[in-house]
Structure 1
Amino acid sequence: MTVSSPAAAHRPPDGVRGRRRRTIIGAARRGLRAAVLLAASAGMALAIVAAPAPAPADAATGAPQPSATPSATDAADAANLSVVVAPAGNGVVSTTVVSVAVAVSNTGDATAASGTMTIALSRSPLATSAEVTSWLDAQTVADTTVASVPVTAVVARGTATATAAVDLGALGALAPGVYPLSAAYSSPTTGTQPLVAHSVLTVPDAASAASGVGVVVPITAPPTTTGLLSADDLKALTADDGALRTQLNAVTGTPAILAVDPAIPAAIRVLGSSAPASARQWLADLLALPNSRFALQFGDADLATQMAAGLPAPLRVSTLDPFMSARNFTSTAVAAGASPTATPAPDGRTLPTLDQLLDIGTARANVFWPATGWATAGVVAALQNAPGASGSTEPAAITLVGTSALSGAVGARADAAGAGILAYDDGASSALRTASLASDPVHQGAGLAAASAYASVATRGAAASAPLLVVVDRATGRSATGLRAAITAASSLAGRTPWDLDALLAAPAASVSVTGGTADDPTRVDALRDLLDQENRVAAFATVLADPTLLTAPDRAEILQLMGNVWRAAPDQFASALSDHRDATSTTLGSVAIVPPSDITLLASSAPLTFSVRNDLPWPVTLTLTAAPNDPRLIVQKTADVSVGAAQSTRVLVPVQARVGSGESTLDLQLRSSAGVEIGPRVRVAISVRAEWESVGIVVMSVLIGAMLVLGIVRTARKMRRRRIAAATAAHNPQTEDVDG
């Protein structure tokens, strides 16, 4: 929790410099990108393989044949190679001759020798999603060789590609289904154990009456530790090559169902006329899209963790007014995308309301999307029963859940013990996410082929009439081309036509049970509870302000951002961000306090004591200073009202009266807010009473003054006497010079 004015963060030219920008943000973003790329390359074994194929068996005995052991140099080189295979057309067979692309990547520092890629196909179809996953994770090769293609030498840290034509007609007719495909790469570098990659071919069923498919795509920002993205963040993210512009360009012109983080439009709107031009244009483009949509939690906050922490309902922001400056808004020009109605500000200008700030366009309310894999039965039930999740004026709650956590009938629309569910296919969704992150066409094609296979087996037979839902899951660091390719492929999976959110929700609901999902990480649950405990302390402290929301509103926004799902991929950066927030909260709570005084010596029976109160906040505070003596011989004024300006210190006078002439005592000082909340630590002051010194001083002074008066009188009398004598002498001796005493 920071202590600078939130609105100042959006007006660097002449205000208090922006909210504390923590260096963890840049590090977290770089860390997340690295994590994402690593996951994309190591991924779900869609087609990339690092393990060699098992040695062939002896034809007579069935025992494995002995193989030559590669040299140490060869083995080291082979460990740096990876292979991927991708059939054309997203793996969907449309002609008898299928083009299959292969790629060999070399992460080592030496060139790998040229070799041969052998393509093989199995005629035994895969019937379930589990069988598709098992094949893509396998280390064996398919049983029928269908093509072979040479691969050139692979330079250090480079990739070599090749394309083979596979004539399926030579194999005979293949029935509709999903068929295993493998590519085995052999070269002097790999020795006698080739590297094998796996993919799948999908033969569509022309006679199947497939239903619709919905594709959910998140519009989210990189991680941040501040309540809202700053103007500089928005300028970078909405630039032509920025992450937010990339996402918007990718979904434009597609039927994607948008899941939008409302904190992004809010961050643009709170800036009013000072928002970067690129950000205002991005928001206008988002609102102009015809796509159906729903709002994520503010900051895409982690729903599973909130429910696991026992919260009765998902956390929300109550106001964002502290982030706004009235000078950026006029009565005729409210924030971009907001309706004309606004909240009057004290100076007569208007500020957008919270609903206007969070508006993402026409959206369906009460749609919840927990992080993939974390939606348990408890999470679904808690969201369904949360206050405000369902009511007479609001649509019933709907939770997105992966099919791997469900048992029962398949299809996008489902119901679990009265809780509304949109079930998305895990396998296809994971493959689409991998494809969207791919940096080259072969890796992307491998992911899309896997997605086609999962979609084909997900709703076959009688279930083909049920709609299918997939998500291109949350990720950072993907290109507009990769994301758009994934959305385009998803929109026609298994020959289906795209459906919007309303169509999916209107479909008949199948009865299911939520039997899977992972119980949330205790570390994240504990982190949220700690954040909420800090928030309670900040809320109590904020009563020193005339408007406590100046502190509480940014604090709640920061908590939601810190609980964003994007941090799940970066636990180390998450821990660092939590530590920074804890330190900032401690700084805030210590920003108003009594300046510790030195020991006091009271030389009179009564006198006012002076104490200092400091205020490091950028707003004025109002407090009460209470004084409690620990000795009945001291009589003090028990309370004194204190008003301290922004970033200032002030002095407070506390009258004290001593009933004893001499002695030692202490006085306890404590600041309290108008709500009676103790502010800062209690301060104890040691007081030495020396009241008798006052009488002694008076006596001494009286004696001194009396002595001076007597001496003055004596001197004056002597002087006058000398003058009289001199005058008499002069009268008798007129010639004598008159000498004055």
Structure 2
Amino acid sequence: MLMAFPSRIRALPAAVLAVGLVAGSLAATSAPVTAARAADSSEESASDPASLVVSPRDPVIRADTAELRFDVLLRNPGTEELPAGRLQLRFGSAQLADAEQLDTILPVTSPLIAEASIGAVAAGEDRTATLTVPRDDIPLGTNAAFGVHSVQASYTPGPDPDTTQDEEQDPAEGAAGAANTAKTSTADAASGAAQKADTASAVDPSDADSSEVDPSDADPSDAADTSDPGSGVLTGLTQLVTELGTPGAPPSSGVNAPTPTVSLGLIVPLVLPSDIRTLPTRRQLEELAPKWDALLTEARIRQATLAIDPRIVAGIRAYGEEAPENARALLERMSALSLPTFMLQFADADPAAQAALGYSKLLAPSSLDFVSRFGVFPAADSDSVSGTEPREQTPQDAANEDQPDLDSAATEAVPTDPAPTEDGNDPGPEPTALPTLAELLAWPTTIAAAWPAEGAVDQATLSLLESSGIRTVVLDSSNVSGNDTPRASVGATSALITDAALGDAARTAIGGATSADRNAGTARLGAMLALAAQSNSSGVLIGLDRGALGDAEDPSALLTRIGTFNWVSSSTVAALPEGKASLRAGDTLEERRELLRTAAGRETSVNELGAVLVHAEYLSGYQRTRLLELFATRFAEPEDEFAAVAAHYRERDAELLEGVRALSTEHTQLVGTSTRVPVQLHNSLPFDALVSVRVDPSSAALSLPERDFPDITVPAEANQRILVPVHSRVSSGESGLVVSVSAATGEPTVFTGTLSISIRSVVETIGLWTLGSLAALLLGFGIWRSLRRKRSSEAGQTAAHQE
């Protein structure tokens, strides 16, 4: 008899550390802000300051514009409530001369165009107000010249004597994230301007074209009322582009001067969202294909250059005929487009980081069979493609297939083997082999280019790329010097140079946390392009942010908005001007570099466990794909907190390194001389394992008639039990079973551990004697009682007969 007391369950913590992605691009979309209180010098009381973001719904004032709507976002990341206050909008009548003036605080003489109250903002919450400004309240004439103007929002805490109870907005709405709309009428704005007339000489709208104040000439003290730390005033800036006349009309027409234009080249990345850590599932492909299709349409209109993550191409091809129909159609359209394209490194891995680690060649995937085994290919049936015997599909198969995060402990396995046909017969002709890695990745690129992380390229990066046959590189403008053209020769390398400032604005426009943030980024981008057009720029190049575009709900939205800017002329990259430049060496962050080095060092240890799998190449291909994704450029920015990402990766590695092992129990008690002890095996790997198990006694107190258990199949991330015959040689004592788990061939051994067993044979002997005695007594008592009843019955019958 065996009495087993299972061990206390030890939960494997999947500690997903929340990555707080602070909107670092806020500085690029609003002026510097001041907190309501002076910051405490102690770290305990320090908190992020409150900030104000203002953005127009449409950043262009056109001839037919009737009104403008501005969203003002008051953000309170601190630990204390922000009080209710007053919002004011001021218009910068003077045109901006260059991009350096985009963040210049407006003087107090700037016309007030709208104001409204805003409710209190709870700690950690945001509140949004929408202010509507009639076109007539903007102090610009109908024939104002094309140009860029600033709009400044300010928040002043405290009660407003002119605010009635009805105007106050419910703070709970801000806590719930709902927008609080405060519309100001023409009369409100006019009266507000009149109230300021005695202290601020607002520009008369009728004289706006001739009486302009240059913000650069303003006394810095003039801005004290709108950005005073002591008063708790917060400010934010946005921009409007005026396009009031008839675009393209000649100056002699008297209508308006022609709208200047700037040639804009775009590099549009086609990448996977950040929550896909290996390759996409079929459901993910089906959901993403329409977004990618819309992005391709806009990219074609804008004559953009495509930068494609090979995981998209390989991910669709890996499922063959099982890939979603819209994904296969997308792949055909991509190959038919006449746009220039180049392939990013697999998973958009960063060449600069690899060069920083001293790699002599670029990392590449080793195998994608761990996904393509589920594909159906011409002249191949699903069972043979998987390389396994037909089996029924389980509910867990479907769960794995639709799981959006392939890097979690419980669901990282890709979709399991397809089910056989209903009748179980061979469904088709002789199967073909799985597609090779080269077949999955093949693509007719027109440019052999690489796109390292922005600002991180040094000469080692260029040398690594050159040794890999890549002589065109996309560089951030901060990574070069002595250049003002979008294309340049940097030594022997041809460089496509993206504008860093434009890229920052575009990143916010795509990936801002709220619609107000995104609109602010769009407004800033439009203003910068307008300033470039006014300065007769020969052309600019923008590389859209890969991380932001991959995670965007509508990745094509920004390209659509750019198409409405009449001062932007789309251009192919090849048509942009070319010059010469010098490399300004960048670097990979030291923390990121060391974390990547450590993660790469664990790859060999994980791959060694593939020996216990039915298909060892599944694990090596899977692990390399994970590692390449960890190298992704989206993690290169300092504010991305790469340590948290690497910690999650390390936790998953720790789970994989557990391999196949025997689960121990706290106490197993053997109460007989002979029994079968269950040994529970657990497979932590995401693929089926085939192992051999050897069980030996840890002392002479136990003997095992059978010690070897070959060819034990342990399903992926599941348990399997084997029964080990055990004989005890002593009546009581402590002993154990030494369990070794190895590959089916015998090497390597991946686990050795001892399962403790307490022997209590004497308990069985006493128990048997006790039970036997009780049984004998009960039997004797029953016999005696039966005889007594029989005798009583016979005596009764005799007496009755005698009577």
Shorter chain as normaliser: what TM range? 0.5 to 0.7
TM-fit CA distance, 1:510: 1.9
Q: 2:312 aligns with which of 261, 264, 269?
A: 264
The one-letter code of the counterpart of 1:479 is D
In the other structure, the counterpart of 1:351 is 434
Distance 1:238 1:372, change over 3 A: same
Please tell me whether the aligned partners of residues 260 and 294 of structure 1 are also in contact (alpha carbons under 8 angstroms): yes
Distance 1:564 1:226, change over 3 A: same
The one-letter code of the counterpart of 1:471 is G
The one-letter code of the counterpart of 2:625 is A
- 2:526 matches 1:448: yes
Distance 1:446 1:154, change over 3 A: farther
In the other structure, the counterpart of 1:318 is 366
- 2:584 matches 1:514: yes
The one-letter code of the counterpart of 1:254 is R
- 2:596 matches 1:565: no
Distance 1:528 1:419, change over 3 A: same
- Cα distance in 2 between the residues matched to 1:442 and 1:600: 70
Please tell me whether the aligned partners of residues 103 and 442 of structure 1 are also in contact (alpha carbons under 8 angstroms): no
Q: Rg: which structure is higher?
A: 1
Please tell me whether the aligned partners of residues 526 and 562 of structure 2 are also in contact (alpha carbons under 8 angstroms): no
Please give the residue correspondences for 1:586-605 in structure 2 after superposition, counting only pairs within 5 Å.
586-594=654-662
- 2:449 matches 1:409: no
| CA offset digits 1:207-251 (Å, max 9, x no partner) | 9x9997531011122212541122232233235xxx434433432
- Cα distance in 2 between the residues matched to 1:89 and 1:672: 73
The one-letter code of the counterpart of 1:157 is A
Please tell me whether the aligned partners of residues 103 and 161 of structure 1 are also in contact (alpha carbons under 8 angstroms): yes
Task: Tell me the SS of whatever aligns to 1:119.
Answer: coil
- 2:375 matches 1:293: no
In the other structure, the counterpart of 1:423 is 497
**Mean alpha-carbon deviation: is it higher for 215-224 or for 552-561?**
552-561
| CA offset digits 1:501-536 (Å, max 9, x no partner) | 5x67xx866242223x3x323333333233323322
In the other structure, the counterpart of 1:529 is 597
- 2:71 matches 1:105: yes
Per the normalisation by structure 2, the TM-score is 0.57
- Cα distance in 2 between the residues matched to 1:306 and 1:649: 41
- Cα distance in 2 between the residues matched to 1:401 and 1:595: 52
Structure 2 unaligned spans of 5+: 1-11, 36-49, 75-82, 119-127, 155-191, 201-224, 227-234, 252-256, 386-427, 762-803
Task: Tell me the SS of whatever aligns to 1:423.
Answer: strand
TM-fit CA distance, 1:448: 1.2
TM-fit CA distance, 1:153: 4.5
TM-fit CA distance, 1:669: 5.5
- Cα distance in 2 between the residues matched to 1:364 and 1:637: 68
Please tell me whether the aligned partners of residues 349 and 631 of structure 2 are also in contact (alpha carbons under 8 angstroms): yes
Please tell me whether the aligned partners of residues 85 and 198 of structure 1 are also in contact (alpha carbons under 8 angstroms): no
Task: Tell me the SS of whatever aligns to 1:290.
Answer: coil
**Mean alpha-carbon deviation: is it higher for 448-457 or for 571-580?**
571-580
Please give the residue correspondences for 1:275-286 in structure 2 after superposition, counting only pairs within 5 Å.
275-286=323-334
Percentage of pairs with the same residue: 20
Structure 1 unaligned spans of 5+: 1-19, 53-77, 91-96, 127-131, 336-344, 391-395, 691-741
TM-fit CA distance, 1:542: 0.8
Distance 1:365 1:539, change over 3 A: farther
Task: Tell me the SS of whatever aligns to 2:545.
Answer: coil
Distance 1:161 1:304, change over 3 A: farther
Please tell me whether the aligned partners of residues 691 and 742 of structure 2 are also in contact (alpha carbons under 8 angstroms): no
The one-letter code of the counterpart of 2:339 is N
- Cα distance in 1 between the residues matched to 2:562 and 2:295: 11
TM-fit CA distance, 1:406: 0.8
Task: Tell me the SS of whatever aligns to 2:292.
Answer: helix
Task: Tell me the SS of whatever aligns to 2:331.
Answer: helix
Q: How many equivalent pairs are there?
A: 574
| CA offset digits 1:252-286 (Å, max 9, x no partner) | 43301011112123223323333333333333333
In the other structure, the counterpart of 2:751 is 680
- Cα distance in 2 between the residues matched to 1:233 and 1:454: 40
Please tell me whether the aligned partners of residues 699 and 736 of structure 2 are also in contact (alpha carbons under 8 angstroms): yes
Task: Tell me the SS of whatever aligns to 1:272.
Answer: coil
**Mean alpha-carbon deviation: is it higher for 607-616 or for 220-229?**
607-616
| CA offset digits 1:522-574 (Å, max 9, x no partner) | 33333323332332222011112242112221222223334433455797886
The one-letter code of the counterpart of 2:681 is R
Please tell me whether the aligned partners of residues 118 and 185 of structure 1 are also in contact (alpha carbons under 8 angstroms): no
- Cα distance in 1 between the residues matched to 2:477 and 2:565: 17
Please tell me whether the aligned partners of residues 50 and 82 of structure 1 are also in contact (alpha carbons under 8 angstroms): no
Please tell me whether the aligned partners of residues 217 and 256 of structure 1 are also in contact (alpha carbons under 8 angstroms): yes
**Mean alpha-carbon deviation: is it higher for 634-643 or for 548-557?**
634-643
| CA offset digits 1:655-703 (Å, max 9, x no partner) | 99x9xxxx99998654443484330244488999x9xxxxxxxxxxxxx
Distance 1:490 1:349, change over 3 A: farther
- Cα distance in 2 between the residues matched to 1:251 and 1:678: 54
Distance 1:212 1:86, change over 3 A: closer
- Cα distance in 2 between the residues matched to 1:267 and 1:82: 41
Distance 1:456 1:680, change over 3 A: farther
In the other structure, the counterpart of 1:369 is 451
The one-letter code of the counterpart of 1:469 is L
The one-letter code of the counterpart of 1:453 is L
The one-letter code of the counterpart of 1:44 is A
Distance 1:281 1:225, change over 3 A: closer
Please give the residue correspondences for 1:304-315 in structure 2 after superposition, counting only pairs within 5 Å.
304-315=352-363
- Cα distance in 1 between the residues matched to 2:56 and 2:31: 5
TM-fit CA distance, 1:381: 3.6
Distance 1:614 1:666, change over 3 A: closer
- Cα distance in 1 between the residues matched to 2:32 and 2:739: 70
Please tell me whether the aligned partners of residues 249 and 480 of structure 1 are also in contact (alpha carbons under 8 angstroms): no
**Mean alpha-carbon deviation: is it higher for 678-687 or for 421-430?**
678-687
In the other structure, the counterpart of 1:233 is 284
Please tell me whether the aligned partners of residues 304 and 520 of structure 1 are also in contact (alpha carbons under 8 angstroms): yes
The one-letter code of the counterpart of 2:299 is V
- Cα distance in 1 between the residues matched to 2:705 and 2:445: 60
Distance 1:80 1:408, change over 3 A: closer
- 2:292 matches 1:215: no
Please give the residue correspondences for 1:34-433 in structure 2 after superposition, counting only pairs within 5 Å.
38=23, 42-45=26-29, 82=54, 88=60, 104-107=70-73, 112=86, 117-121=91-95, 125-126=97-98, 132=99, 134-141=100-107, 150-151=113-114, 153=116, 157-163=129-135, 164=138, 166=140, 181-183=149-151, 193=225, 197=237, 199=239, 214-239=265-290, 243-325=291-373, 328-331=376-379, 348-359=431-442, 361-364=443-446, 366-385=448-467, 389-390=468-469, 396-433=470-507
The one-letter code of the counterpart of 2:284 is D
Distance 1:664 1:586, change over 3 A: same
- 2:606 matches 1:538: yes
- Cα distance in 1 between the residues matched to 2:499 and 2:52: 33
The one-letter code of the counterpart of 2:104 is A
Task: Tell me the SS of whatever aligns to 1:593.
Answer: strand
The one-letter code of the counterpart of 1:426 is A
TM-fit CA distance, 1:432: 3.7
- Cα distance in 1 between the residues matched to 2:51 and 2:668: 73
In the other structure, the counterpart of 2:624 is 556
- Cα distance in 1 between the residues matched to 2:640 and 2:263: 41
Please tell me whether the aligned partners of residues 486 and 541 of structure 2 are also in contact (alpha carbons under 8 angstroms): yes
Please give the residue correspondences for 1:496-515 in structure 2 after superposition, counting only pairs within 5 Å.
498-500=571-573, 510-515=580-585
Distance 1:498 1:623, change over 3 A: same
| CA offset digits 1:137-192 (Å, max 9, x no partner) | 222559xx9x9684364776223245447469899xx9xxxx87444569589998
- Cα distance in 2 between the residues matched to 1:257 and 1:491: 21
Per the normalisation by structure 1, the TM-score is 0.61
- 2:552 matches 1:477: yes
